[in-house]
Chain A
């Protein structure tokens, strides 16, 4: 039997080593994602134009003045893309964070509780939610929630999409966490702490939750990609962020009709979206990879 040779750590020690581990791909992912986040913060601040300004002629090809070109009414795609990026990324981080916390809590409790009926009821709900194709359940909820007005900082259409995502996304984490909690509740160290007389609450908090959340958190990083993609897909189905607010999906949806003459309106934000997804996948993959 051949044993896999362990890759040599390329960062000998220090906090970088702890963050990156032995994975080159994780470092690449962190650098790529960090750059994109920095651009989303800096570009709207440093740029002379705001995302909704008409800055030049319509349909200008990418140039030094407008690196991603201009759209059908002469707005700068570069500024719109990175201003839209913060909408997508904050929304995805927010709903995924909510889903991880709610899902992990419910799932851990369901897996650890001795009231098996509570577990059964929760898992029936989870099964039902997961049975729906995600986008169909989202659209149904978006229509039911129905608000298409802006809400605080959230542009029109976003609140309904966020509420819909929060109603759906937790279920996957509940299932993941429950499975993990079920496995841990009979682990030796949990049995030992039970024998030692630790109360059930402390056992869940101190011994089960850390093991469960390690798995759900790694999964969550990959899930952010999924949420960004879903958010960007919604405009194509008549939901999601409404124009003129910049958002990756709505920019691409607006550019869809001009593909023949002005491919950059669609392709440029799309490329940034794909690179964001790639960088997060690199990070998530390296966290789930069992090579240390």
Chain B
């Protein structure tokens, strides 16, 4: 294994991601155009004026031949131009996204942090006594949480911590830090209700697998104590898959964040998406779809690039 091979591997992964990105761009372009019927009449409904239709057709850039539409679209993307909102004249889609993104990213960050902490603790607690009472309890809690929709967890948290106990705000946003922090707690917990169980399950599986490896037996026969075994051998091996997991879960975290925003009334991507869906503002929807798919691709790529740096075994695999 040489450093050069590592770079080659990394370049291959970047290339793969760029290819996926290209497919995503084509898919977003086709999204409006592949649907049977005229998107303009679909969006506006049957009762509409000729001017409104013409205006929307221009806004969606549907008044030129399809091939030119595609090249204009690509040229716009290369300039960071995602088009204009079809409803709010003068608002650029990239401006709308840039305004909403920080809120969503802070919820995602809090959710990631909380689910990692909770997931590792629960997963290890379950794995250290597999198929016993603690394990069974943790697995049931994990499955119950996993089966509970994020919005329901959010509503229940509001019911208990805001309405009954009055500890935290039921929703809203201060607009600046550090005043935003209290508004992030319940959304963050609600969001981790989805990823936390997945992490717990993965950590448990990885910990049980690594506890059955031969090096554990070797370490045991060298006379290492139980806690040294757990910390030196089981913990690192069971935490490793989380890197990959966080990478591939980025999409579902965004999904969760969007729902959580709707429940707690936070001004993020989710609120913009809900607004755009209600107004059938297609350029905004397309822009958010493209942006979020890019975020997911980058998240996956980062996880794949970081993993070999942390786990030497993944480096020698090629």
Contacts and interface: CB of A to CB of B under 8 A. Distances in A.
Chain A complexes with chain B: yes
Given A129-B27, A229-B147, A259-B159, A140 B212 contact: no
Interface in A165-196: none
B270 interface: yes
A259 B282 CA distance: 33
A134 B21 CA distance: 16
Contacts of A1: 212, 214, 217
B310 interface: no
A280 B31 contact: no
Interface residues of B, number: 55
A145 B263 CA distance: 25
Interface stretch (B63-71, B233-241, B291-299): B291-299
B149 A233 contact: yes
B286 A135 contact: no
Contact of A125 (B23, B35, B151, B262): B23
Contacts of A260: 163
B273 A131 contact: no
B5 interface: no
A100 to B, nearest CB: 20
A133 interface: yes
B255 A259 contact: no
A291 to B, nearest CB: 9
Nearest to A275: B147
Given A143-B277, A225-B147, A237-B270, A270 B19 contact: no
A233 B277 CA distance: 14
Nearest to B151: A236
Given A131-B24, A237-B262, A252-B152, A141 B31 contact: yes
A78 B150 CA distance: 22
- Which one of A132, A141, A225, A263 has the greatest number of beta carbons of chain B within 10 Å? A132
A236 B262 contact: yes
A239 B42 CA distance: 15
Interface string A247-291: 001001000100110010011001001111110111001000000
Contacts of B20: 124, 127-128, 131
A139 B147 contact: no
Interface in B74-112: none
B24 A144 contact: no
B274 interface: yes
A27 B35 CA distance: 44
Nearest to A279: B147
Contact of B277 (A7, A239, A282, A285): A239
A232 interface: yes
Contacts of A135: 255, 258-259
Given A146-B43, A237-B270, A281-B146, A128 B24 contact: yes
B151 A280 contact: no
A125 B34 CA distance: 14
Nearest to A132: B293
B281 to A, nearest CB: 9
B255 A134 contact: yes
B19 to A, nearest CB: 7
B159 A136 contact: no
Contact of B143 (A237, A256, A282): A282
A121 to B, nearest CB: 10
B116 interface: no
A225 B149 CA distance: 10
B31 A144 contact: yes
B251 interface: yes
Interface of A: 1-2, 4, 7, 124-125, 127-129, 131-137, 139-146, 225, 229, 232-233, 236-239, 249, 252, 256, 259-260, 263, 266-267, 270, 273-278, 280-282, 285
11 contacts: A127-B19, A131-B24, A144-B282, A229-B147, A237-B262, A252-B155, A267-B159, A275-B147, A277-B144, A277-B147, A281-B143
Given A133-B258, A277-B147, 9 more contacts: A131-B251, A131-B296, A140-B286, A142-B277, A143-B282, A144-B39, A239-B277, A270-B155, A282-B143
